[in-house]
Amino acid sequence: MLGAGFVALVDALGERDAPDVAPLRVAGDRFSGVAVRADRLGDDGYRETARRVFGRVTPENELKWEVVHPERGRYDFGPVAKVAEVGPMRGHTLVWHLQNPAWLEQGSFSRDELIAIMRDHIFTVMRRLRNVREWDVVNEAVSDEGPLRDSVWLRGIGPDYIDLAFRFAREADPDARLYYNDYGAEGAGTKSRAVLALLRRLRARGVPVDGVGLQGHVDTKPIPAFDATLDAYVALGLDVVFTEVDVRVDPDAPDLDAQAAQYARMGRACVARPRCRGFVVWGVSDAESWVPEAYPGQGDALLFDDDLRPKPAYDALRRALSGQP
Ligand code: G3I
């Protein structure tokens, strides 16, 4: 019998047990996945939940330039190697406007130099991680208003940095599946119109983009014209992956049923489309979620609560992904 003092001590240390739940399996030949942080993997409950419940892992930050390429020409694959120990990885992300190191953001490079830097990064990272079969090559290139977003890449190279990134990625690993990944593009609106237009232009120019990653950072409100929007991506000949799903609620009065229903809608929409290849949630438990920091007053967006107990959303998503009504 453990004393109350011991139990309190364990609680204070934040030790959690992995939940005794079934893995999330997706009907058909598709995957479930979860974003993982290397610095949390010492927590057994965290690590075991990621390992047992999900089929793939996405490094939440460990492949961003500031981590993997902190100095010009110096790469650090230590953090991402820890994530890779948990399970097969989705690659996130090769070219983005955030989490770039100062040497890149503040350097003054000619266009040709910047292209060479980007090419070296893509080749080095993809060839080192040959077993990663799927990459978010370009992340969030479209602004919420529609035009391409300001970034070191757009400023230094011009709009064709996107074409170049995909072409380099295809050359670096001809068999990998290459994705354009963005948020707020799951439903009808300015953003999805702009993303669809970009993808249509890329495909028309023969740029090797195989799929679109729909991040799925949403609240519980209906996503406008959700099905029609998904079908518009599929009609371009693209695969679809839900890459970063979370459904935020008010933690003081969380509507867990509405949250579960939203997860289930997204899960069912994926299963209903053969071109939807996978469904990834953006974190293991509410305790690690990025949401409260980014959306003050909102949170509790994931499938497991702070103590790794499954929420209604877990069961709703499990059923939806397995093809049950
Ligand atoms: O690395 C520093 C660490 O040294 C420092 O001690 C600590 C103190 O706050 O900050 C650490 O950096 C944080 C980093 O995550 C690593 O934990 C940043 O402050 C924090 O802003 C950063 O947030 C990440 C965010 O991307 C940055 O934009 C989130 O964890 C990550 O979940 C989030 O992921 C993005 C996807 O990549 C793309 N789509 C949107 C999604 C959510 O924003």
d(CA 282, CA 271): 19
Give the pLDDT score at 159: 98
Question: For residue 234, with 0-12 CB atoms within 10 Å meaning exposed, 13-18 middle and 19 or more buried, which class applies?
Answer: middle
- Residue nearest atom 17 in ligand 1 by C-alpha distance: 61
Give the pLDDT score at 14: 60
Q: How far is the CA of 77 from the centre of ligand 1 (A)?
A: 18
Best of 64, 90, 94, 99 for a ligand 1 pocket test (most atoms within 8 Å of beta carbon): 99
Residues serving a catalytic function are 140, 244
Q: How far is the CA of 185 from the centre of ligand 1 (A)?
A: 21
Q: Tell me the pLDDT tens digit for each residue of 249-287.
A: 999 999 999 999 999 999 999 999 999 999 999 999 999
Instruction: Pick the more confident residue, 220 or 325.
Output: 220
Query: Ligand 1, closest atom to CA 64?
Result: 37
Helices marked H in the chain = 4-12, 44-53, 65-68, 78-84, 102-105, 111-128, 152-156, 161-172, 190-204, 226-235, 256-271, 291-294, 312-321
Q: Tell me the pLDDT tens digit for each residue of 96-132.
A: 999 999 999 999 999 999 999 999 999 999 999 999 9
Give the pLDDT score at 1: 41
Q: Indicate whether 3 pLDDT > 60.
A: no
Residue 61 CB less than 6 A away from ligand 1: yes
Confidence band for 325, pLDDT divided at 50, 70 and 90: confident
pLDDT mean across residues, the chain: 96
Q: Indicate whether 51 pLDDT > 90.
A: yes
Q: How far is the CA of 173 from the centre of ligand 1 (A)?
A: 28
Give the pLDDT score at 258: 98
d(CA 106, CA 115): 16
* Cβ atoms 260, 316 nearer than 8 A: yes
Q: How far is the CA of 61 from the centre of ligand 1 (A)?
A: 6
Q: Tell me the pLDDT tens digit for each residue of 140-176.
A: 999 999 999 999 999 999 999 999 999 999 999 999 9
Residue 181 CB less than 6 A away from ligand 1: no
Best of 95, 191, 290, 302 for a ligand 1 pocket test (most atoms within 8 Å of beta carbon): 290
Q: Tell me the pLDDT tens digit for each residue of 282-308.
A: 999 999 999 999 999 999 999 999 999
Q: Tell me the pLDDT tens digit for each residue of 52-107.
A: 999 999 999 999 999 999 999 999 999 999 999 999 999 999 999 999 999 999 99
d(CA 254, CA 260): 11
Q: Indicate whether 6 pLDDT > 70.
A: no
d(CA 24, CA 201): 36
* Cis, bond preceding 93 (omega within 30 deg of 0): yes
Give the pLDDT score at 299: 98
Query: Ligand 1, closest atom to CA 283?
Result: 32
Average pLDDT over residues 207-229: 98
- Residue nearest atom 14 in ligand 1 by C-alpha distance: 61
- Residue nearest atom 30 in ligand 1 by C-alpha distance: 290
Give the pLDDT score at 153: 98
Residue 215 CB less than 6 A away from ligand 1: yes
Please choose, from the candidates 61, 112, 118, 54, the residue with its C-alpha nearest in 3D space to the C-alpha of residue 280.
Answer: 54
Confidence band for 13, pLDDT divided at 50, 70 and 90: low
Question: For residue 188, with 0-12 CB atoms within 10 Å meaning exposed, 13-18 middle and 19 or more buried, which class applies?
Answer: middle
What is the percent of the chain where pLDDT is above 70?
A: 96
